Amino acid sequence: MSTSRRVLGPADLAAGSLKGYRVGKRNVVVTNVDGSLRAMDDWCNHAGCLLSGGHLDGRLLVCPCHEVGFDVDTGKNATSPGVCDDQPVYPIEIVDGQIVVLGFDPPGVDG
């Protein structure tokens, strides 16, 4: 069973921007590409860099350490296959004006 954690209000994240959050035991980066919000693990699985320190290039979230681009919809490594694995992505819902990231942390873990 998975839980959800409130992250932020949608008005706080402008189009074309990204922001990292600590949610439960995870670091999550939320992106806003053309008004569409997405979330993925913030830790790059190759070198442990925070993706929230990177930038958006269209629909790609580019890692600040090695310039690997991850598709914000799928988490797929779209630019450097073999350098690092795809990133886990999480579904988002808007509940009472707040972004809610779903799909991780065991029950009882507070975010």
DSSP H or E run through 103: strand 98-104
Q: What pLDDT is attached to residue 47? A: 78
| pTM of this prediction exceeds 0.75 | yes
Q: What radius of gyration, in Å, describes the C-alpha atoms of the chain?
A: 13
Domain edges within the chain: 3-104
**At the fourth CATH level, which superfamily is domain 3-104?**
Rieske [2Fe-2S] iron-sulphur domain (2.102.10.10)
Assign residue 108 a region: left if phi > 0, alpha if psi is -120 to 50, beta otherwise? left
Provide, rounded to the nearest whole percent, the portion of the chain with pLDDT above 70: 84
Q: Which residues pair with 28 in a beta bridge?
A: 21, 41
Residues in the chain with pLDDT values less than 50: 1, 106-111
Q: Express the helix, strand and coil content of the chain in percent, nearest 5 each.
A: 5, 45, 50
> Measured between alpha carbons, how far is 15 from 24 in angstroms, rounded to an integer?
25
pLDDT of residue 11: 56
